[in-house]
Amino acid sequence: MNEKNASFPGEESGDISLRDLVTPLFRRQRILAVTFLSVLGAVILVAVLVGPIFTSRMTVLVNRERLDPLMTPESTTQLITTSTPITEEEINSEVELLSSRDVLEKVVIANGLDLPGKGWSLGSVLHPNQSKEDRIARAVKNLAKAIKIEAVTKTNLIQVRYSSSDPQLAYGVLRSLGEFYTQKHVAVHRPAGSYEFFAGETQRYHDALQQAEANLRDLENRNQIAAPDAQETNLALQVTTSVGLMHLAEQSLAADDERMRNDRKQMGETPQRSPTAQTSAAADKLLDQLNNTLLSAQTKRTELLMKYDPRYPLVQDIDEEIAQTKAAISDAEKTRYITESTDRDPTFEALREDHARTRADRAAQAATLAATKRSITSMEAQLVDLDQQSIARQDLQREVKADEQSYLTYLAKREQERMSDALDTTRIANVAIAVPPAIPVLPAFGWPVIVLAGIGVAMVVSIGSAYAAEYLDSSFQTPAQLTDGLGIPVVVAFPKRTA
């Protein structure tokens, strides 16, 4: 009975009965019992050494409660709608963000998972001289395996689980993961530095607007003109009016010249004076004066003859004067005086006054014409200057308007980005930690569960060991095996007995 039987017990009948299955177990009771107790003891020992396992859970909700503004310098109006459902691709994207290397690396550093443990460990033996980067990389790899991330079917929820023998560590890992994942989500879905960009552009256009306004004020102060367009319109109207007045003055000058020529012609034909009265009378007054003179001379001769001789010079002079007076009296008696009164001719005077008045009016009209021409020339020059100033002012106004529009646009965009940053600060995003992690109090598996699991594992391993030992045993265990193996009929079979 030394030849190995390659067939399973009871194989000769072609059908395996329950007895055939149980018989090897009874035959290998010792192996079965030893294996069962060893595996059960090993499981309990491992559970004691490892300690209780605590599992912390966190649930992430993916939604559309927030719509970030478009990254564009133009004014935009975005319509927010929540009717579009969350797609499976979006949820899978968030799952990948949760398990991304940089997020896990931050979690490892924040919770000290990369620090070497105290005492003996298998990792320190296998990798005695590893650097900090190596420890972080291995910790990230182990953490990626330990964290269980799965999307809940037919929901917008993502379930995250992490188990550890330290409940504080399990809670800390998920809490750090939620914080860094939220930051990662915001950084991925919003461009970095957008607020600083729009703030810088807002300040730049604010400075440009102030400079353009200052240039406009300097132009107005330099030219002392507040509204050149309005003044240009008023001045053009004044130029038109002045041109009309100039033509009127020219017409008046022509009329005055013709009037003066007509007045001079009529004055040449009209006498300046005309007689008004004529009287004739004798020279009575002259005779009276001559007689008085003669009487006075004769009286004076008489007085001189009383004192002097008639040949005395004074007496002779008086005699000569008396003779002349008598001669004058004789001539006066023969003379008659005609008195004629004349006066200025009224027609001539009217012509002369009209000529003088017309001449004065002409001088005034000539002065007005010259002043009007100078005024028109000056106003035309002012119009040209005002037109240039108006063009310069319009350019500055367009610049001010353009800078103001750009400033208001970038100010609105800056406020949008500021609100987005404020929402980021307050963790208002399209993902939210629906169920935050908590410090687990009860272990994931209690001792009854561990013992039952150990019993189950021990039973499976012990039964497998018994069947393996039965299969590997080359001895014959039953008469049928002997008959089938050797082809010799068995007359008597004695069971093996222990002494």
Which of 24-33, 157-166, 195-204, 266-275 has the highest mean predicted lDDT (pLDDT)?
A: 157-166
Judged against a pLDDT cut of 80, whether residue 279 lies above it is answered with no
Beta-bridge partner residues of 55: 163
CA–centroid distance for 435 within its chain: 39
Beta-bridge partner residues of 433: 60
Beta-bridge partner residues of 151: 158
Mean pLDDT of the region 42-64? 77
For 116-130, 166-180, 232-246, 395-409, which range has the lowest pLDDT when averaged over its residues? Answer: 116-130
Percentage of residues in the chain with pLDDT exceeding 70?
71
- The tokens describing 139, both together, are 């910790």
Over residues 371-415, the pLDDT tens digits come to 988 888 888 888 888 777 778 778 878 888 888 888 888 788 777
Return the pLDDT at 74: 56
Q: What is the pTM of this model?
A: 0.43
Mean pLDDT of the region 114-127? 56
Beta-bridge partner residues of 274: 343
**Coil, helix or strand for 60?**
strand
Give, in words, the CATH class of 49-195+420-457.
alpha beta
Return the pLDDT at 387: 78
Over residues 55-102, the pLDDT tens digits come to 888 888 887 655 555 555 555 555 445 556 778 888 888 888 888 888
227 against 428, higher pLDDT: 227
Beta-bridge partner residues of 64: none
> Tell me, what amino acid is at 43?
V
Judged against a pLDDT cut of 70, whether residue 12 lies above it is answered with no
Mean pLDDT of the region 298-302? 83
Return the pLDDT at 442: 67
Judged against a pLDDT cut of 80, whether residue 473 lies above it is answered with no
Three-class DSSP labels, 463-489 = HHHHHHHHHHCCCCCCHHHHHHHHCCC
Judged against a pLDDT cut of 70, whether residue 5 lies above it is answered with no
CA distances from 53 to 59, 172, 233, 442 (A): 20, 15, 92, 9
Q: For the chain, what is the mean pLDDT?
A: 75
Judged against a pLDDT cut of 70, whether residue 326 lies above it is answered with yes
* Helical (H) or strand (E) element with 185: helix 167-189
CA distances from 240 to 225, 230, 237, 254, 377 (A): 21, 16, 5, 22, 12
Query: Is the distance from CB of 91 to CB of 154 less than 8 angstroms?
Result: no
CA distance 165 to 112: 15
When computed from its CA atoms, the radius of gyration of the chain, rounded to whole angstroms, is 71
Return the pLDDT at 408: 85
Return the pLDDT at 13: 45
Residue 8 — pLDDT band, cuts 50, 70, 90?
very low
Mean pLDDT of the region 322-339? 75
Q: Tokens 């595996």 sit at which residue?
A: 39
Beta strands in 6-153 (DSSP E): 54-62, 148-151
Return the pLDDT at 6: 38
Mean pLDDT of the region 140-146? 87
Return the pLDDT at 9: 42
The neighbour count for residue 160, using CB atoms within 10 Å, is 24
Mean pLDDT of the region 142-159? 86
Q: Which residues contact 105 (CB under 8 A, 6 or more apart)?
A: 136, 140
